[in-house]
């Protein structure tokens, strides 16, 4: 039974950054700006939160430190995404190219900074093996089953992720900003003719996505990576790109994005615990096939795209530069 709970809990852990970053991508793309820079922004968030951890690891309560690290990660992501917003919206550049630049630039940047400050030839930032996990939430953990899954051995980021999911849904579908954001992503000409400032709204969308991706980077670092930040292109193990797939699989809709995040996270967890799980079924699956599990979510995304392309929720003007003169 405890294996079952362990697997479930680790599904939830890797689900959180996927969920938050995919929701971030949703804000950008719903406003009409593609954001494949999520990976780079996540690395930025992870990097700056690692700096916070190194500086304050023994100087304040763990949960407070976690929250501060997340906030700093989010803010740095927001600042970093400003570059994408400026290029894509103000300068009307190709959105894929500016985002790719952001993805490629961050790891070397972090490496240079780390080496310059620490004056050693290492691109690692380590803060030691202290854990941020909450062993048990008082009272709530006593609820049978639910308590075991959601309120034992849990990170605070899980609750933050759920809160962000709910707030994102409300903002997108209930508020004035959400209505305008969606209009800018579907038909900016309509929004413009009704006096909506396309540039402002799209900037807001991209910056929100930057904040959430940075936040997700910090959460990845602390809850999945664990002990150190490495300034490499794989610093967040491709979670930014995975989040992009989650966004597409989730059809740009918060309700479906949460399911997509769980789905992707589930297969990732199976892959990560392959040896353990395969042991349970007497190694029935040849070891050579273990990577198959990693493929499943992507294959599923492709199949889904093939069958739902007509009813795709992709914003109609996603990725298109707004040109007022065009009809």
Partner 1 sequence: MEKYAVEMLNITKKFGSLIANDNVNLKVKKGEIHAILGENGAGKSTLMSILFGLIQPDSGIIKINGEEVKIENPNVANKLKIGMVHQHFKLVERFNVVENIVLGYETINKKGFVDYENPKKKIIELSHRYHLNVDPEALISNITVGMQQRVEILKMLYRDADILIFDEPTAVLTPQEIEELMGIIRNFASEGKSIIIITHKLNEIKMLANKCSILRRGKYMGTIDVNKTSVEQMAELMVGRKVDFNVEKKAPKIGDTILEVENIVVKKDNNKNHVNGVSFDVKEGEIVVIAGIEGNGQSQLIKAITGLIPFDSGKIKLINEDVTKSTIRHKIELGMSHIPEDRQKDGLILDYSLQENFISCEYYQEKFQTKGFLKFEAISKYADNLIEKFDVRSSNGKYSIVRGMSGGNQQKAIIAREVSRKGKLLIAVQPTRGLDVGAIEYVHKKMVQVRDSKVAVLVVSLELDEVMSIADRILVMYEGKIVLETTPKEITMEEIGLYMAGSTKKDLGGKDGKK
- Applying CB under 8 A, the residues found at the interface with partner 1 are 170, 174-176, 179-180, 182-183, 186-187, 189-196, 316, 324-327
CB of 296 to partner 1, least distance (A): 31
CB of 253 to partner 1, least distance (A): 12
| 186 or 271: CB nearest partner 1 | 186
CB of 178 to partner 1, least distance (A): 8
| 1 or 194: CB nearest partner 1 | 194
DSSP class of residue 291? T
CB of 3 to partner 1, least distance (A): 44
At 115, list the tokens: 């080496």
| 197 or 291: CB nearest partner 1 | 197
CA distance 109 to 138: 43
| 6 or 169: CB nearest partner 1 | 169
Residues forming a β-bridge with 134:
154
Q: Quick check: 46 and 225 in contact, CB under 8 A?
A: yes
Three-state SS for 44-106 is HHHHHHHHHHHHHCCCCCHHHHHHHHHHHHHHHHHHHHHHHHHHHHHCCCCHHHHHHHHHHHH
- Residue matched to tokens 């190709």: 94
CB of 163 to partner 1, least distance (A): 17
| 180 or 268: CB nearest partner 1 | 180
Q: Quick check: 157 and 222 in contact, CB under 8 A?
A: yes
CB of 217 to partner 1, least distance (A): 31
CA distance 207 to 236: 20
| 74 or 205: CB nearest partner 1 | 205
* Cβ neighbours, 10 Å, residue 161: 23
CB of 170 to partner 1, least distance (A): 8
CA distance 285 to 277: 10
Q: What share of the chain is helix, strand, coil (3-state, %, to 5)?
A: 70, 5, 25
Q: If DSSP codes are grouped into helix, strand and coil, which group holds residue 157?
A: helix
| 192 or 271: CB nearest partner 1 | 192
CB of 61 to partner 1, least distance (A): 34
| 197 or 283: CB nearest partner 1 | 197
Separation in Å, CA 78 to CA 83, 100, 250: 9, 17, 23
CA distance 218 to 203: 23
């Amino acid at each position: 039974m405890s294996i079952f709970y362990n697997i479930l809990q680790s599904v939830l852990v890797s689900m959180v950054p996927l969920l938050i970053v995919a929701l971030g991508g949703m804000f950008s793309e719903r406003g009409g700006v593609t954001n494949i820079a999520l990976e780079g922004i996540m690395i930025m968030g992870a990097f700056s939160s690692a700096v916070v951890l190194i500086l304050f690891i023994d100087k304040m309560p763990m949960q407070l430190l976690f929250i501060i690290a997340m906030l700093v990660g989010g803010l740095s992501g927001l600042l970093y995404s400003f570059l994408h917003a400026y290029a894509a919206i103000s300068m009307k550049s190709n959105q894929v190219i500016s985002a790719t630049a952001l993805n490629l630039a961050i790891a070397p940047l972090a490496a240079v900074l780390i080496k310059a400050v620490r004056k050693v030839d290492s691109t690692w930032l380590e803060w030691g093996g202290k854990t941020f996990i909450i062993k048990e939430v008082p009272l709530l953990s006593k609820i049978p089953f639910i308590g075991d899954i959601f309120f034992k051995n849990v990170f605070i980021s899980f609750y933050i992720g759920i809160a962000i999911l709910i707030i994102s849904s409300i903002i997108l579908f209930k508020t004035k900003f959400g209505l305008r954001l969606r209009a800018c992503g579907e038909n900016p000409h309509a929004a413009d003719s009704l006096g909506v400032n396309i540039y402002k709204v799209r900037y807001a969308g991209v910056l929100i996505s930057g904040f959430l991706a940075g936040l997700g980077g910090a959460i990845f670092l602390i809850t999945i990576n664990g002990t150190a930040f490495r300034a490499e292109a794989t610093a967040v193990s491709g979670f930014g790109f995975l989040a992009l797939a989650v966004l597409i699989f989730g059809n740009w809709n918060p309700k479906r994005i949460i399911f997509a995040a769980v789905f992707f996270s589930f297969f990732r967890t199976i892959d990560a615990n392959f040896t353990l799980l395969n042991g349970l079924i007497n190694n029935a699956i040849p070891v050579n096939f273990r990577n198959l599990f990693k493929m499943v979510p992507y294959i599923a995304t492709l199949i889904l795209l093939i069958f739902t392309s007509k009813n795709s929720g992709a914003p109609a003007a996603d990725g298109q530069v707004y040109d007022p003169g065009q009809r």
